[in-house]
Amino acid sequence: MRDTRESRLLLILLVAVAFALITVDIHGGDDSPLNGPRSAAASLFGPVESGVSRVVSPVADGLHALRNSGSQADRIRQLEQQNELLRQQLSSNDLVKSRDGQLSKLLGLAGAGQYTIKVAQVVAIGSSQNFSWTVTIDIGSNDGILRDMTVINGDGLVGRVTTVAPTTSTVLLAVDPRFTVGARLESSGEVGFGTGEGDAPMRVELLNGHANAKVGGRLVTFGSEKDKPFVPGVPFGTITQIVNTPGELTKTVLVQPFVSFTKLDLVGVVVQPPPTDPRFAVLPPKPAPPAPSSTPSPSTPASATPSGAATKKR
């Protein structure tokens, strides 16, 4: 349209009419003369507006979800990291509590036996010497560790040192088939030699074939004046079976060690034996036997009397 005088006058007239209609509609309120035309327009264009809204809404929702998906993924990753950190903290706390308990038991046993020990941690299983049951500990010759020193934990005998390096040592466990240790029976003082049997209970040959050994009897180690690869008095194990060997000069018993060799963590290397043999002082007190249950003897009821005994003689 050309910018003529007539077009400018028409534009001014349309703007004036629009303002007039707006003024009338505002002052008319509910009685506005434009309500009828407005309702007709709503009836005409309402269905079109609803259809467009149904088409556009899923697209808008999808765009909104895509916009927020990144932040949700970041939030999930943050929560997962926080959960992992909490699990690590709980695991660390449990480990600290476990080691505190192990150290307390170890120091208690060493104090009862008057053993001078150096505490070590098991850092590896197995060794280059092809022993089937060994562990590596984190102290060595720099810490004063020597070959054949006794190794204990809070439960009893663990083994002996076989190889020493400057900062580590190899320990042959008491359950290894190449392991031998002197043992003393608590009940009678009888002595013998124990050997490892791997996963099976250890085998102890008591030198006295008539030794009074019973299932449940406990044993400790004993030392030698000439050579002391094992310090005396260390809790060794409990007899689980008496092996019947008629005619043998020795008596064989099977012994379950006090130590759980699959759960080794903190151990102590005895660097100075006790001044005197503690014998059985290091063994924990025996648990009190359960009190026998008292069952009252049933009284004989009168009806249980034989009928003949109640017959009156005539």
pLDDT of 71-103, one tens digit each? 777 777 777 777 767 666 665 566 677 788 889
Residues 138 and 227 in one domain: yes
Residues 82 and 129 in one domain: no
The phi-psi region of residue 279 (left if phi > 0; otherwise alpha if psi is between -120 and 50; otherwise beta) is left
Residues 6+ apart with CB under 8 A from 116: 110, 270, 271, 272
- Both tokens of 271, joined, read 């660097």
Q: Is position 287 within any domain?
A: no
DSSP letter for 143, please.
Answer: G
pLDDT value of position 73: 75
Neighbour-count burial of 163, counting CB atoms closer than 10 A to its CB (0-12 exposed, 13-18 middle, 19+ buried): middle
**CA distances in angstroms from 179 to 138, 245, 298, listed in the order given:** 22, 23, 58
Q: Which residue, of 272, 287, 308, is where some domain finishes? A: 272
For the chain, the domain total comes to: 2
Residues 168 and 48 in one domain: no
**pTM over the 0.85 mark:** no
What's the domain range around 12? 8-113
Q: Residues in the chain with pLDDT < 50?
A: 1, 42, 44-45, 48-49, 52, 55-56, 63, 128, 131, 226, 300, 302-314
DSSP letter for 30, please.
Answer: G
- Measured in whole angstroms, how far is the alpha carbon of residue 312 from the centre of its chain? 78
- Both tokens of 87, joined, read 């699990």
Contact present, 240 and 201 (Cβ < 8 Å): yes
pLDDT value of position 90: 60
Question: Rounded to an integer, what distance in angstroms lies between the CA atom of residue 52 and that of residue 47?
Answer: 9
Q: Is position 149 within any domain?
A: yes
Residues 105 and 120 in one domain: no
What residues are paired with 255 via a beta bridge? Answer: 202, 239
Q: Is position 296 within any domain?
A: no
pLDDT value of position 60: 56
Q: Is position 291 within any domain?
A: no
pLDDT value of position 19: 58
Question: Rounded to an integer, what distance in angstroms lies between the CA atom of residue 194 and that of residue 203?
Answer: 5
**DSSP string covering 245-294, please?**
-TT-SSEEEEEEESS-GGG--EEEEEEE--SS--TTTTSPPPPPPPPPP-
CATH number for 174: 2.40.10.340
